[in-house]
Amino acid sequence: MARLHEYEGKGMLKAQGVHVPAGRAVASADEAEQVASELGGHVVLKVQAWITGRKDKGGVRFAKTPEEARKCAEDLLGMQFGNFPVEEVLVEQCLEIAHELFVSLTIDDAARTPMLLLDCAGGTGIEERADTVARLAVSVSDGIDRDDVAAVLSRSDIPQESHQALLDAIDAIVETANVNEARSFEVNPLVVLRDGSVCAADCRVTIDDYAVFRHPELGIEIARELDHPATDLERIAYQLEQDDHRGTFYFAKLPTDGWESSKGLIGFHGAGGGGSMMSMDAVTNEGYTLANFCDTSGNPSAAKVYRAARVILAQQGLTGYFGSGSGVASQEQFHSAYGLAKAFNELEISLPVVVRLGGNAEDRAVEILEDACEGLPGSVEGYRKDDTPAFCAARFTTLMDGTSGVSSDQLTRNVPDWVGGDAEAFPIEGGHVWIDLAHCDAALTAQMAEWSSGVLKDDGTGLPAIACDEQTAAKSDSEFIACEIECLRAGRPVLFVDLPIAGIDCPQEAS
């Protein structure tokens, strides 16, 4: 689920007519002092981080003057909460609160309905008071049942004269969640002020990943449930996923604090959630620190697996590469083998690599991977479904013990020297295919036609040519990758699929 900052959620509420405190987010102490001055000096400052219990963790400060606000902002900006660095602080007017409520719209997957969670004693510690929270079903078409909500309010000590304003605010909160297709929209607390008015003092919002494309106005970079601001590599990976829907490519950075005391920092490449988790445990139990989580499943193309491997290996400081997934995947494993072999050869990988390619055609996949990578500086070993994650992790340790002084920092992309010269080239989606015609012959061309699944043919003179229309050829990146690797295995590397990745191989295009 894609998360929003508190001030973004409050902007959504304000658009639906819910009163929110005056103030704005700032990124510097100077701005904090200025906002506090505009608000009369007495303000609250709150770190903008995707965490709960900010106040107890020191992420909420009160200031009575602009100068105090400046000092508080200096303390808060740059704080670290888990994986979340504080880059913004919300500076708001202090409120004179009489009553606090907890209001949350969430999707109850078991009941298959939206659910309103309501407690007339909101604020810190709501998690420990779960048994006091009313659960009220919400109609998809009609919203809340105002009588049910009114009944909950009537059992509280909140004055009757504020009930109508609370009903209107709760109705608007639910409508805000509905309009923006939120999986959850929590306002804690929704407060009744001493003058009887109602205000949303705090909120947390998560938007359904599958609805993000319908809401460009929200400015969500990555429709992923991350516990930290998106990194450059995560942005690159997400864009690659959006550009190619053949299978799944999920990439997320993991916390690596203290990895120097482990056996090494490892790039992880999984396939299938459950199997990947088992494999992550196996390599972690061997004493390694995982730099990332990555999943390529759902029958991904060779091109997608290639790009995933390139993203993983673009991380700094890796000393090894460990891949292992479910072991019973229905996808054809040789597609993954081709993609991995291309990435490892293109980078002339020097790191130890162990990849468990369990699933359909696993014997062929292991043969392709190991044969294509036989001459590389690093050891590349493939395993099958009967090889347990623990066995593969132990084998990985053996390879690592025989290696020292290598890291992903030393890897650079290598393009054949004949690319860009007199070689034949034609475009495909995301790049070009280059063929060194000067070193082709009729026998090799016949094999290339087979290796490319018929995308290439003999042009009548013994040289390879496109056997289909340009549009089909442009979408045949995986077929060309297979041909490239088979040419390499045959000792005749005459075809190269050039798929530069924006942000890794070339500057990121401006959005």
Q: What is the per-residue DSSP string for 327-373?
A: S-EEEEHHHHHHHHHHHHHHTT--S-EEEE--EETHHHHHHHHHHHT
CATH 2.60.120 fits 424-498, yes or no: no
CB-based contact 298:247 (threshold 8 Å): yes
* Distance spanning both ends of the chain, measured CA to CA: 23
- Residue 1: the pLDDT is 64
- Residue 421: the pLDDT is 81
Peptide bond preceding 189: is omega within 30 degrees of 0, i.e. cis?
Answer: yes
CATH code of 97-214, in short, is: 3.30.470.20
Q: Which fold has domain 22-93?
A: Dna Ligase; domain 1 (3.30.1490)
Instruction: Report the alpha-carbon distance of residue 141 to residue 150 in Å, rounded.
Output: 20
Q: Which fold has domain 232-410?
A: Rossmann fold (3.40.50)
Two domains, one topology: 97-214 and 424-498:
no
- Residue 466: the pLDDT is 96
* Tokens matching residue 320: 């090894």
Give the pairing type, strands 456-458 and 464-466: antiparallel
Sequence-ordered alpha helix ranges (H) in 262-301: 273-285
Instruction: Report the alpha-carbon distance of residue 14 to residue 33 in Å, rounded.
Output: 24
Residue 299 phi/psi, 5-degree rounding, is 60, 60
Question: Buried b / exposed e across 211-229, counting CB within 10 Å, b at 16+?
Answer: bbeebeebebebbbebbbb
What kind and span of H or E run contains 466?
strand 464-466
CB-based contact 341:368 (threshold 8 Å): yes
| Integer CA distances (angstroms), 423 to 437, 467, 470, in order | 6, 18, 18
- Residue 328: the pLDDT is 61
- Residue where the block lists tokens 């903008």: 48
- Residue 91: the pLDDT is 98
Q: Which residues contact 174 (CB under 8 A, 6 or more apart)?
A: 105, 114, 116, 138, 143, 144, 185
- Residue 510: the pLDDT is 37
Cα 35 to the center of its chain, rounded Å: 34
Crossing angle between the packed helical segments 163-179 and 146-154, to the nearest 10 degrees: 130
* Tokens matching residue 138: 């919400």
* Tokens matching residue 486: 């088979």
Residue 353 phi/psi, 5-degree rounding, is -130, 130
Listed by start position, the domains of the chain span 22-93, 97-214, 232-410, 424-498
C-beta atoms surrounding 92 within 10 Å: 23
DSSP labels for 400-455? HHT--S--GGG------TTTTTTSEEEEETTEEEEE-GGG--HHHHHHHHHHTTTS
Q: What is the pLDDT along the chain (511 residues), one digit of tens a residue?
A: 688 889 999 999 999 999 999 999 999 999 999 999 999 999 999 999 888 788 889 999 999 999 999 999 999 998 988 778 899 999 999 999 999 999 999 999 888 899 999 999 876 667 667 778 999 999 998 999 999 999 999 999 999 999 999 999 999 999 999 999 999 999 999 999 999 999 999 999 999 988 988 999 998 888 877 777 788 999 999 999 999 989 999 999 998 989 999 999 999 999 987 788 999 999 999 999 999 999 999 889 999 999 999 999 999 999 999 999 776 656 789 999 999 999 999 999 999 999 999 888 999 999 999 999 999 999 999 999 999 999 999 999 999 999 988 999 999 999 999 998 888 899 999 999 999 999 999 999 999 999 999 999 999 999 999 999 999 999 999 999 999 999 999 999 999 999 999 999 987 543 3
The identity of residue 407, as a single letter, is: S
Instruction: Report the alpha-carbon distance of residue 43 to residue 418 in Å, rounded.
Output: 65
Crossing angle between the packed helical segments 477-489 and 333-346, to the nearest 10 degrees: 70
> What is this structure's pTM?
0.82
| Integer CA distances (angstroms), 139 to 34, 106, 116, 182, 246, in order | 44, 12, 10, 15, 36
Helix, strand, or coil (residue 396):
helix
Residue 44 phi/psi, 5-degree rounding, is -115, 140
Helix, strand, or coil (residue 55):
coil
